[in-house]
Structure 1
Amino acid sequence: MTEVHGTHEPRFAPVRDALSWNLAAGEELGASLVVDLDGELVVDLWGGFRDETRTSPWERDTITNVWSTTKTVVSLAALVLADRGELDVFAPVARYWPEFAENGKEHVEVRHLLSHTSGVSGLEQPAAVADLYDWDKTTARLAAQAPWWEPGTASGYHATNFGHLAGEVIRRVSGKTVKDFVADELAGPLDADFRIGAAEADWPRIAPVVPPPPARFDPEPGSVMARTLSGPAVDAAVANTPAWRRADLGAVNGHGNARSVARMLSALALGGTVDGVRLLGPDTIDLVFAEQANGVDLGLGIPLRWGIGYALPRPDAVPWVRDGRVCFWGGWGGSVIIADLDRRLTISYVMNKMAPGVIGSDGSTTYVDAIYAALG
């Protein structure tokens, strides 16, 4: 097995062994894995390499692009504003962003953005990744679009535009870009090594992502899935470019590691307060578990159950996420964050070698199962 660094309580030795085995077998290139239990880091592990040539080890402070795990941080930012009484998730988006009322969207509510039920799951064509880098242009286009299905009736994963939709509301309410809000109001107070995009000074410690095998999607032309996945289509290698790292993409370009993601998202499992820093109250946390959609997601084509800002357990579709008062999501390639409020437990996993699949991976399933087995 390959050497794994960090610490863990003795009962979690099988978790370390699983990570070590996957690194040795080539299933992982580099990864970090954290378990926060009742505010204590009972597992804090990392290992492997930052680069495909295996010359640069994955260090304690290595960070990587976490893809859609970024969305969980942006959802937390929106909930912080809701907790402060500055944002009503049941209010029309147009209350805060008047232009969004165009083309029949006047009744779309903030909760619809956060639960992927707004009907606006991508950009109309033509759409390119470079369009996402222009915040004002992209948000103006999204505001002008008509919904692709009746808002609130089903989810359709907001794959690349979630950060622009929720982030523009955050900007209108707080006066800060979503990148700055996360830095100033979440990562900063919690000393979490996470940011949307990546500061150029941090580029040397980034583990570039290794794209997964080609996906075998064959959606029906003109379907919500086809429009979402092409609005815009993303080549994973773009995450390693300077333009991507400089952008404010609250859906897909957060940079951090398992420790920093867990540091912020543990607020959900710990009742809203992390080491004396209060982010949320119990009523706001309850919003996460207000079911907004439960069925086949129109953008991904798989069964999902959404609360406000996070996916909720559906054992038939995502069996490795335990039932109960649990919320989760993850990133393309396999990274995952789980908040288990019943156990005051947060599980965070981040890696650079992307696995195939839509939600989670064989690796994330193995680690999560081993963690719950250790907990008995």
Structure 2
Amino acid sequence: MADVEGFCDERFTAVREALTANLSSGADVGASVAVYLGDEPVVDLWGGQTQDGPWRRDTITNVWSITKTMTALCALMLADRGELDFHAPVARYWPEFAVAGKERVEVRHLMGHTAGLPKWTGRFNGADLYDWEKATSLLAAQEPEWEPGTESGYHALTQGYLVGEVVRRITGRTLGTFFREEVAGPLGADFHIGLPTEHDHRVAHVIPPEDAPPPAPPRHMAEVSWTSDWRRAEIPAAGGHGNARSVARIQSVMATGGGSLLSAAGCERVFEQQSDGVDRVLGTWVRFGLGYGLPSRGLPLPNPRTVAWGGWGGSIVVADLDAGMTVSYVMNRMAGGLTGDARGAGLVLAAYAGLAES
């Protein structure tokens, strides 16, 4: 049996058992799972191995698209303060954006993956991900691939630059700086968008997926996250580093109706539906609110007032406003899917089983 460390409220022993089973079977190599009820942790577990030894309490890793939920939270906070209007044209905040048929693209279209800008169509290579000005300028110049607002097409990497540039234009701060100063810092959460050098020794390298069919990126893309260039860069759709504890701590704000960061009304805006159908990029049914996935036939969740999203390889976070519960799972062994897999789903179901018994 695999050794699992941390604590687990006795109501949620099924979560510990599920993580132990994943590690013992080899489905997981190293992983962490956390459950919050309200703003209180009831599960904080970790175990397994990294490239340097045991997965420890302070181990962090690249969580890919879980980062999108952090970026969305920043935008929701600005909207709650009256500094950002989701129904305003993007060009109100970013004038250079109003070209090539994007004059009427609204901020909500960026949040809901309906802006028609799922990838860069100009000359763009991997190193350009680290050049914020180039990445955003190219997006501002290009034409949408479809009529904005009519359907979703997952903006796997571009969404972070699009929303992040709007945040920068409003606040004068980069997305990573705003997040650090307004979210992670006040909450005491060990999550980073743009990782400082002093944390490198704590990073568990992701293990690339054995099979990564389209629309997932090619397998070698996972290895890019091992580099210092990737860690230092602010890649607000995919470059965040954290663990289950930090992810759950931050997203518990959503499950508690805004917590210390949002008003209740500001939190509820996440449920403003932006799309509901087969996503052009993912090829699966997705229902997007403002920055998060909502319950749908493609993402069945027990309660309607729940938001969730997963990262490439298997990480996941679920924040249930009806139950006041947040569940997060972060791991280093990647599967091929873009938005979570059975390991995380099993842990989420185990948490709901514990909730039912409490």
| TM-score of the alignment, normalized to the shorter chain, above 0.5 | yes
C-alpha contact 2:213 2:336 (8 A) present in aligned 1: no
Are 2:233 and 1:247 aligned? yes
Overall identity of the aligned pairs, in %: 53
Partner of 2:199: 202
C-alpha contact 2:94 2:169 (8 A) present in aligned 1: yes
Partner of 2:298: 317
Are 2:145 and 1:148 aligned? yes
Partner of 1:268: 254
What is the deviation of 1:125? 4.2
Distance 1:40 1:92 in 2: 39
Amino acid at match of 2:299: V
Alignment of 1:151-230 (within 5 A): 151-217=148-214
Distance 2:264 2:183 in 1: 18
- Normalising by structure 2, what TM-score? 0.97
Partner of 2:336: 356
Amino acid at match of 2:247: V
What is the deviation of 1:309? 0.9
Distance 1:126 1:168 in 2: 20
1:303 to 278, 282, 285: 285
Residue 41 of structure 2: SS of its match in structure 1? strand
1:234 and 1:165, CA in 2 relative to 1: closer, same or farther beyond 3 A?
farther
What is the deviation of 1:81? 0.7
What is the deviation of 1:348? 0.9
2:245 to 259, 273, 282: 259
What is the deviation of 1:234? 6.7
Amino acid at match of 2:284: I
Partner of 1:18: 18
C-alpha contact 2:212 2:219 (8 A) present in aligned 1: no
Are 2:265 and 1:279 aligned? no
Alignment of 1:322-333 (within 5 A): 322-333=302-313
Root mean square deviation of aligned Cα: 1.5
Alignment of 1:116-127 (within 5 A): 116-127=113-124
Residue deviations 1:170-223 (CA, integer Å, cap 9, x gap): 000010000101111100111110111211110011000001123222xxxxxx
C-alpha contact 2:212 2:335 (8 A) present in aligned 1: no
C-alpha contact 2:5 2:47 (8 A) present in aligned 1: yes
C-alpha contact 2:208 2:219 (8 A) present in aligned 1: no
1:80 to 77, 80, 101: 77
Distance 1:35 1:184 in 2: 24
Distance 1:359 1:195 in 2: 20
Distance 2:227 2:39 in 1: 36
Distance 1:362 1:293 in 2: 25
Are 2:32 and 1:32 aligned? yes
Corresponding residue pairs, total: 356
C-alpha contact 1:129 1:234 (8 A) present in aligned 2: no
Distance 1:303 1:126 in 2: 31
1:291 to 253, 273, 276: 273
1:118 and 1:236, CA in 2 relative to 1: closer, same or farther beyond 3 A?
same
C-alpha contact 1:64 1:206 (8 A) present in aligned 2: yes
Partner of 1:222: none
Partner of 2:54: 57
1:85 and 1:234, CA in 2 relative to 1: closer, same or farther beyond 3 A?
farther
Alignment of 1:132-143 (within 5 A): 132-143=129-140
Are 2:349 and 1:369 aligned? yes
Runs of 4+ deviating beyond 4 Å: none
Partner of 1:221: none
C-alpha contact 1:70 1:254 (8 A) present in aligned 2: yes
- Normalising by structure 1, what TM-score? 0.92
Amino acid at match of 2:326: T
Structure 1 gap segments, 5+ residues each:
218-224
What is the deviation of 1:323? 3.6
